[in-house]
Structure 1
Amino acid sequence: MHWAAMGLLVQGGLSPLLSTAIGAFTGAVSNYFLQFYWAFNGKGVHGSSMPVYAFTVILGGLLNAGLFHLLTALIHVGIVPAQIFSTAAVAVMNFVIYKRIVFHERII
């Protein structure tokens, strides 16, 4: 979802940095329930998972935008390689936090 939204927005003339930020948000919203039920087979309560998920999404969005900006504006890497690297870094961070904290099997 992130990449699809980003691609459409860049093609529409929006700046790559704003496009990746909007794309990250779009992906986060659409992925919550897929992550909860499918990837991590969540058993907890959404009320306890959602706030930590939202914090992780914000953290991931900041990491994505920061790395993307660093790579494209300061190091002059192309948009696609910069987004591949940024996506990989955020995916690793998200997986660890989701597995250990957000979707950890706990009933509250």
Structure 2
Amino acid sequence: MNTLLPRQLRGFVAAGGFATLFHWLVMAALIAAGLEPVLATASGSVSGAVLNYGLQRRLAFRNAGPHRVTVWRYIGSCFGAWFCNLVFFFLLNNVLALPVTLSQIVTTGLVAALNYTVYQRLVFHEQTR
């Protein structure tokens, strides 16, 4: 079946979509419980990252190296993505005064583009012998 997007990119989008929904659900629940939005998005980001690792390996990066290698690379990339998520959200929401929802949508798009490149080139790249 010929599609417009390569299988890897489709898998990345699907896995990231599920993980992002989970991130946003956690974030919304924490905001509803009274937590400050920046802390809520930071917590949601960590929750989504845990789910995302398994989904990315299964749906997008099937030829990745062994878990003992990729999980550590993934954790390192998560720290970078978590920090970028926090900085982008803070700048959009607190400095530019955009609403929470718009700030998170823009932040998610920026971090997703960064993540695809990092996953493809550093985290899940196929191991050579």
TM-score (norm 2): 0.80
Pairwise CA distance, 1:105: 1.1
Pairwise CA distance, 1:54: 0.5
Residue range with higher mean Cα deviation, 59-68 or 36-45 = 36-45
2:85 is the alignment partner of 1:60: no
2:111 is the alignment partner of 1:90: yes
Pairwise CA distance, 1:100: 1.4
2:88 is the alignment partner of 1:75: no
> How many Å separate the matches in 2 of 1:27 and 1:85?
17
What is the aligned counterpart of 1:8 among 29, 39, 53?
Answer: 29
Percent identity, aligned pairs only, is: 36
Match of 1:37 in 2: 58
Mind listing any 5+ residue stretches in structure 2 that lack a counterpart?
Answer: 1-21
- 1:62/1:43 Cα in 2 relative to 1: closer, same or farther (>3 Å)? closer
TM-score (norm 1): 0.94
Pairwise CA distance, 1:35: 0.4
Tell me how large the CA RMSD over aligned residues is. Answer: 1.2
Question: What do residues 25-84 of structure 1 show as CA deviations (whole Å, max 9, x unaligned)?
Answer: 000011101101212113410111011101110100000000111111111000001000
> How many Å separate the matches in 2 of 1:68 and 1:82?
6
> How many Å separate the matches in 2 of 1:31 and 1:2?
10
How many residues are matched?
Answer: 108
> How many Å separate the matches in 1 of 2:88 and 2:64?
33
Mind listing any 5+ residue stretches in structure 1 that lack a counterpart?
Answer: none
The SS at the match of 1:17 is helix
Residue range with higher mean Cα deviation, 15-24 or 94-103 = 94-103
> How many Å separate the matches in 2 of 1:10 and 1:67?
18
Runs of 4+ in 1 over 2 A off after TM superposition: none
